Amino acid sequence: MAIVFQKPHALTDAVLHYCPGCPHGIIHRLVAEAIDGLGIEGEAIGVAPVGCAVMAYDYFNCDMIEAAHGRAPATATGIKRCRPDNIVFTYQGDGDLASIGMAETVHAAARNENITVIFVNNAIYGMTGGQMAPTSLPGQVTQTSPYGRDVKHCGWPIKVCELLATLEGPEYIARVAVNNVKNVKAAGKAIRKAFQNQIDKKGFSLIEVISACPTNWGMTPQKALEWVESDMIPYYPLGVYKDRSAAKEEEAK
Amino acid sequence: MKTTQILIAGFGGQGILFAGKFLAYKGLLEDLQVSWLPSYGPEMRGGTANCNVILSDDPVGSPIVTKPDVLIVMNLPSLQKYVDTVVPGGQIYVDSTLINEKVARTDVETYYIPATQMANDAGVPTLANMVMMGCVLKNNPNLTFDGTAETMAKLVPPKKANLVELNMKALEAGRDYEG
Amino acid sequence: MAERVLMKGNEAIAEAAIRAGCRHYFGYPITPQTEVAAYMAKKMPKIGGVFLQAESEIASINMVYGAAAAGMRVMTSSSSPGISLKSEGLSYIAGSDVPAFVVNVQRGGPGLGGIQPSQSDYFQATKGGGHGDYHMIVLAPASVQEMASLTIKGFNLADKYLMTSMILADGTIGQMMEPITFEDAEIETYDKPWALTGTKMQRPHNIVNSLYLKPDELEQKNFQRYEKYAVVEENEPMWEEYRMEDAELCVVAFGIASRVAKNAVAAARAEGIKVGLIRPITLWPFPKKALRAAADQVKAFVSVELNMGQMIDDVRLAIECKRPVSLCNRAGGMIPSPDQVLESIRKAQKGEN
């Protein structure tokens, strides 16, 4: 009997610690499928963040390192500069990448560091129990914005793709979501492209994945996915924000 | 040789550190123990600069010159600041183009050299520092002018070989100055 | 015999690091260590190495962390305020047991402080610096030659013990030029089966990590690390003794302070005072045995430091407070003069503090 569906080899057998209904499992799977599909597990080195995905080093079968909070792009830079033939990726959340690690993110992108960044945006600090993130929406209630995010007091959310797309440096910047089958499929394609770009030595690729946090949003998983569609995606539109190679091809035509 | 502690001081941009480097390289080629310590800081040009050089047969202890045997000054603030630190019997070399004051101390040997003027006259206006060095090498009993050309050749990168000749011109002008 | 060349201390570190096999440098500009970066920027591209100016000290130490985890000889250099920023990464490197080489060419503090030479990061360097229980091997050069030799030693020790080796120099030693000869570096090589190389689908995945959520596991990791530290403390202390053979007084000083102290010891000897010097070359592990032995010989110690009195604590601990220890110091970027040290020796001779 033909096997039509199985766990990707690039994922270990460890049981994920994520909450019920958390899309991290889907995103891990998409990353692992890309690694399997491109046949790069033996060369891959992953950098885990501080945040909900902190134990990602137990979940991916490739070599892994645990970075300090926000520093994954710097740590990945160190690895990639030593081992340019390996495939180096980071897996980071919004607090890690867009708050404490913003400098490392922007500069790795500006250098067009040949790494792949998977950026999971669920608009909240999950690991620490639901505090306001740099990507929390205006008016969003969190533990540290109990009356809703007041932009006059604590500023506006950061749109990472839009920001990074202004830089000359990066190769590929795209935003995807995992709230329905269609979007999951598109996300898988984008993630695979982000790894392919690295194999092709094109440079820095970042995929922002709009995710959900049912636990800290205080919603059922189903309701959380609906909120992604109704509130998150309108604020963070999906699409390709920068694709240098495609732009060049377009120009050539 | 007797341990010789040298302090060179002036404005940034006068080549104070280079003059010290020249002495240090000369010591190196003479197989002496050498230390060279610059003042460092944000004042790249126009601020005060000084340089400590120690030449000795024995290992150099502290590289910091607190009681110089030889003081070379190329501006007035430096003379005022360091004149009293020179050991009795030591030497003070003064660029008299830039410093009008005389040294009041009588327990030191003082040389007044219009180095900046001489460098201008010789067509090497940026090399007053080396005019001073030429005079020091001639007049200090522990130092010698011998080996100067070899030192310059070592000190100046091959790309700037033309500078060797200009520096030698300045050094010789200082050596030949009769005060 | 290798050629004698004149070189700045900072440049000697860079050249020695390259000779030690370091091909990866990540840094951020700060006075008074910038010559290290400048030298690397010039040399690395020509020898197939990597020089990368990072966006911050924090980024650079985390690049070092990644490169170390990848199994490479790697370094960064900075000065006091920059080392504070690097402390986070130093703690992660310690917690992950990977080898790194870090240079601190100290300047006066706290805060932005000044840019003149200082030894006021002694506590930070020898007691850990960042969060958590850990140590670094701390090497204190007193000459340009030692800037080079201790750099090579530092890389070897880091690989041997899977720790950070730190050169704790100061602005004077970094900026001064002295003659130096580069003998062939003795490079010790150690297998790094833990390194991130990619599994090649031939082994279980390697994980470089400092996170242990189970406290009993984390306790065991700490215990194991301290067993290693005990070996380092037993085997690796380095120090120099100068005129100690008949000494009745002992000056303790490291780095630039020891150079000043040597002048003072010579001057005191000329006055007939029997004084010697112990110069710790490793500040961690501290040469406790040498000092403990000296305590049975001399009647008093003088600790000479460019800070408000930091090493003096370790001197007192090492000699178990058996003898009085007085402090001779300047701070904020000032350096004690030989006369000041001589005066402290005279006082100690008279039994004054």
Min CA distance, C81 vs chain B (Å)?
Answer: 16
Report the neighbours of C using a cutoff of 3 or more CB pairs below 8 angstroms. Answer: A, B
Structural domain count of chain C: 2
All structural domains of chain A, each given as residue ranges with its CATH number in brackets, are 24-252 (3.40.50.970)
* Cβ within 8 Å, pair A57-C201: no
B92, B98 contact by CB (below 8 A)? no
User: How many residues in chain C?
Assistant: 353
Residue C56 lies in a domain: yes
Query: CA-CA distance, A114 to C66, in Å (whole number)?
Result: 15
Q: Are residues C22 and C147 in the same domain?
A: yes
- DSSP secondary structure code for residue B159 in this structure: G
Dihedral sign for Cα atoms in the order C289, C291, C292, C296: positive
C60-93 residue pLDDT tens: 999 999 999 999 999 999 999 999 999 999 999 9
Q: Are residues C194 and C121 in the same domain?
A: yes
CATH of the domain at B13: 3.40.920.10
The mean per-residue pLDDT over the stretch C221-242 comes to 98
C241-252 residue pLDDT tens: 999 999 999 999
The mean per-residue pLDDT over the stretch C193-222 comes to 98
pLDDT at B178: 87
Query: CA-CA distance, C222 to B41, in Å (whole number)?
Result: 42
- Residue numbers of the domain that contains C245: 240-349
| DSSP codes, A36-90 | HHHT-TTTEEEEE-SSGGGGGGGTBSSEEEEPPTT-HHHHHHHHHHH-TTSEEEE
Tokens of B7: 């302090």
Cα angle B27, B29, B35 (rounded to 5 degrees) comes to 35
Coil/strand/helix, residue B158:
helix
User: How many residues in chain B?
Assistant: 179
The enclosing H or E element of C282 equals: strand C282-284
C72, C65 contact by CB (below 8 A)? no
Q: Are residues C182 and C246 in the same domain?
A: no
Tokens of C228: 């290693």
Q: Mean pLDDT across chain B, nearest whole number?
A: 94
pLDDT at C353: 65
Residues 6 or more apart whose Cβ sits within 8 Å of residue C14:
C25, C35, C36, C39, C40, C43
Query: What amino acid is encoded at B85 in this protein?
Result: T
Structural domain count of chain B: 1
Chain C residues within an 8 Å CB radius of B37? 172, 175-177
Please, how many CA atoms are within 13 Å of residue C19, restricted to the half-sphere of its CB? 20
Chain B residues within an 8 Å CB radius of C115? 40-42
Residue C185 lies in a domain: yes
Q: How confident is the model at residue C1 (pLDDT cuts 50, 70, 90)?
A: low
Which of C5, C14, C63, C61 is closest to C35 using CA atoms?
A: C14
Q: Are residues C162 and C301 in the same domain?
A: no
- DSSP secondary structure code for residue C204 in this structure: P
Query: CA-CA distance, A156 to A137, in Å (whole number)?
Result: 8
- Residue numbers of the domain that contains B112: 4-176
Residue A131 pLDDT > 90: yes
pLDDT at B42: 60
Q: Which of A68, A76, A77 lies at the smallest CB-CB distance from C92?
A: A68
CATH of the domain at C271: 3.40.50.920
φ/ψ of residue B52, rounded to 5: -105, 125
- What percent of chain A shows pLDDT beyond 90? 96
- DSSP secondary structure code for residue B36 in this structure: E
* Cβ within 8 Å, pair C66-A78: yes
- DSSP secondary structure code for residue A128 in this structure: T
Residue C211 lies in a domain: no
Q: Mean pLDDT across chain A, nearest whole number?
A: 97
C64, C75 contact by CB (below 8 A)? yes
C135-163 residue pLDDT tens: 999 999 999 999 999 999 999 999 999 99
Tokens of B53: 């050089």
The mean per-residue pLDDT over the stretch C174-192 comes to 94
* Cβ within 8 Å, pair C176-B21: no
